[in-house]
Amino acid sequence: MSTITTSTTPTVDEALVAEAAIVRHRAESLRQQAAKLDEVLGMSYRRRASELEMEAWLLEVRAGVPEPLLHHAA
């Protein structure tokens, strides 16, 4: 009796990857704006940018992006 093995390639949810890119772009925009604001407001913008970067990372994980290709969360 022979055993048939099949290689399964994980599929990536492109819709979630696209959503992650949008969220990451918003985080980058907030970081750029933070540089032009006073210290307290700038800190709030950077904190929110970090939250968005974490959300984007989680979206990529949920989408099935292979670990070596994941963007790093702040």
69: nearest Cα among 29, 27, 21, 31: 21
Dihedral of the CA atoms 42, 29, 63, 7 (nearest 10)? Answer: -120
Segment 7-33, tens digit of pLDDT: 566 799 999 999 999 999 999 999 999
Residue 5 pLDDT level (bands cut at 50, 70, 90)? low
Segment 32-71, tens digit of pLDDT: 999 999 999 999 999 999 999 999 999 999 999 998 888 8
* Residues contacting residue 33 through CB under 8 Å, at least 6 positions apart: 45
- As a whole number of angstroms, the distance between CA 22 and CA 42 comes to 21
pTM over the 0.75 mark: yes
